[in-house]
Amino acid sequence: MTNGDVLAYISLLAAILVTLWAAILTVGLVFSAKTQHAAQLLERAPGRALGTGAGLGLLGVGLGIVLLNSKNGLGMLIGWVLLAITLSIAMIGSAGLARVMSGRMQHLAPTQSALTTLARGGALLIAAGALPAVGWILFFPLQLFASLGAGFQALTARERLPYEQPAPQPQPHQQ
């Protein structure tokens, strides 16, 4: 392996990480209602999101990789589509996780704008997952499974209108 090969691998990894950060930020801005719902799910029931995401991740990614290794062209196409759908759902949850971090950063630095804290939250998620050893083995899989679970739950949730209590009627004054 030459110096050029090492630089090419490092450049490719850096490009993937920057693109992933930009995708989290874009999804968080474009699909703000769904990512806000995913953030609420992650804050209220993180264990449920993690469990759902682990099941979906192992099923979606596992089946996708198995289909990619098939000799049939249609099977390979279905494998790529399955992986793309799984990772797209995880992107909704990742933007929700970045929103959770953004909300917590907003309390620490109230003068920062929501866009700035969302961008920083996404960057911190990417940086934590890119950390050698601990990030690759612990942080990234936990982030992926939690994001996948929250994204799936946010996309499959029914839209519910908030309950509005009727205004109290004034009672006639009795003497």
Write the pLDDT tens digit of every residue in 62-97.
Answer: 999 999 998 999 999 999 999 999 999 999 999 999
Is the pLDDT at 101 greater than 90? The verdict is yes
Average pLDDT over residues 152-167: 71
pLDDT at 170: 67
Q: Where do the DSSP E strands lie in the chain? A: none
3-state secondary structure at position 25: helix
Q: Is residue 165 part of a domain?
A: no
Task: Tell me which DSSP letter residue 112 carries.
Answer: S
Q: Is residue 5 part of a domain?
A: no
Closest CA to 151 of 24, 20, 41, 60: 41
Task: Please report how many Cα atoms fall inside a 13 Å half-sphere around the Cα of residue 68, on the Cβ side.
Answer: 11
Q: Give the chain's domain count.
A: 1
Q: Is residue 169 part of a domain?
A: no
Percent of the chain with pLDDT over 90: 75
Q: Is residue 163 part of a domain?
A: no
Q: Is residue 76 part of a domain?
A: no
Q: Is residue 73 part of a domain?
A: no
Average pLDDT over residues 55-63: 93
pLDDT at 161: 46
Q: Which domain holds residue 116?
A: 11-57+90-156
pLDDT at 156: 92
Q: Is residue 2 part of a domain?
A: no
110 pLDDT tier (thresholds 50, 70, 90):
confident
Q: Is residue 79 part of a domain?
A: no
Closest CA to 82 of 100, 96, 108, 63: 63
